[in-house]
Amino acid sequence: MPSDGPTDGPSVVSERMPDAHSVSVGVWVGVGGRDEHDGISGASHFLEHLLFKGTDSRSSRSIAELVDATGGEMNAFTTKEYTAFYARVPAGGQELATALLVDVVGSPALRPDDVETERQVILEELHLQADDPDDVVISLLYEAVFPGHPLGREVLGTAESVEAIGRDEIAGFHEKWYRSPNLVVAAAGDVDHALLVEQVGGAFAGSGEAGRPVRSAPSPQLEPGRSLVRPTESTHMAWGWRGLRRDDPRRHALALGLHVLGGGLSSRLFRSVREERGLAYSVYASTSGYQDAGLVTVYAGTAPDRVNELSTVVAAEVGEVAAHGVTAAELAIARDGFEGSILLGLEGSGSRMGRLGTGQSLLGRVMPIDEYVAVLRSVTLDDVNAVLADVLAPEPTLAQVGPAGG
């Protein structure tokens, strides 16, 4: 798994898959929704949209036609701490995919007319998100767990912020952050690493001088909860606790413990909430880690007249895990499940590229599979139960979306 790059260019990491029929190439930019000040909330996502509207040398149509002619795909997504652009094409298409990505990321046209067009597209995206109570309740939970902090903001921004962002502010955001120190190029599949380094080095050479975003940690204070009355068929509920930073050595133990609590068909919450009582169709527990904070979430949706019953069952299951931990048999199933999911994820070039890009961008290195499996196997039952007790013992913050009185 080569990992290097030109001295004045981005980090480059790749993994060759000898029998692959595709190649996936991506560019990770180390800036996201939390790196915007209030006046330009949503700028990272706005810029993500605009980069596909054309470059100094290619129109959006020509980019789309080149990708469509391969039968592949080109897309992007924005998170709270990074933005990623990627292309997946048949084997032999590395040069084209890389050329398109470096053009899109490095030389966007950012035409005023395109800004206005995409502004309307993003406003419609916000409307669609507002129509989905699953999304809304998680957004409310983030606002309550990270009150007044950029981690608590929605990556898309708000209708007001999207309406207010100007073309010059978006261009300035690109000029400031889309520079080599913040860029990671990752590829997997039918990859020629030396060619990849040559292509991206020539494209981004001399684009330095940008530092990494300076981020402030959120206050330890949480709000007790937030609710939104809406005439939905179900009441959607999300409980939240402060979790672990993404580099916390206990993160693997926490992930395994939460898998036992609500990560699969054999998890405690799935059995208790869905299989035994039929309270919810979907119920899960998850963890998200950021540079300086984390969030643990339990989500479920139920009929409005069963909210109290659901709350009681969830509190009992979480309380039992926090107080008494999980069993050795449950931990063994979770560990084997994690190992299996990692192996299944190695089948496609896209998933391998994503693993490379995310690891290199967020942690500064890609953990080899053998090392990851060894770390999982080194986690003890005491490790898991200690971190579950630490994280889940406090009273959770609750976000709720549904009918009045639910």
Contact yes or no for 8/187 (Cβ under 8 A): no
How many angstroms separate the most distant Cα atoms in the chain?
A: 62
| Joined tokens for residue 185 | 């190029």
Spatial separation of the C-alpha atoms in residues 287 and 258, rounded to whole Å: 8
Q: Across the strands, what pairs with 286?
A: 297
Contact yes or no for 212/134 (Cβ under 8 A): no
125 φ, ψ (degrees, to nearest 5): -60, -40
3-state secondary structure of 307: helix
Q: Rounded to the nearest 5 degrees, what angle is found at the Cα of 76, between the Cα atoms of 74 and 80?
A: 170
Helix-helix angle 94-106:60-68, to 10 degrees: 160
Tell how strand 11-16 and strand 73-78 pair up.
Answer: unpaired
Among this protein's residues, is 81 annotated catalytic? no
Q: Could you say which of 48, 81, 118, 154 is catalytic?
A: 48
Spatial separation of the C-alpha atoms in residues 390 and 338, rounded to whole Å: 22
Spatial separation of the C-alpha atoms in residues 23 and 18, rounded to whole Å: 11
| Joined tokens for residue 121 | 């597209």
Alpha-helical segments (H) within 131-189:
133-145, 159-164, 167-177
3-state secondary structure of 324: helix
| Joined tokens for residue 319 | 């309380």
Q: Which of 131, 321, 306, 335 is nearest to 241 (CA)?
A: 321
Q: Rounded to the nearest 5 degrees, what angle is found at the Cα of 294, between the Cα atoms of 186 and 51?
A: 40
What is the torsion angle, in degrees rounded to the nearest 10, for the CA atoms of residue 344, residue 346, residue 351 and residue 354?
Answer: 130
3-state secondary structure of 123: helix
- Those residues whose C-beta lies under 8 Å from the C-beta of residue 332, and which sit 6 or more positions away, are none
| Joined tokens for residue 86 | 């990627």
Q: Which amino acids are annotated catalytic?
A: 48
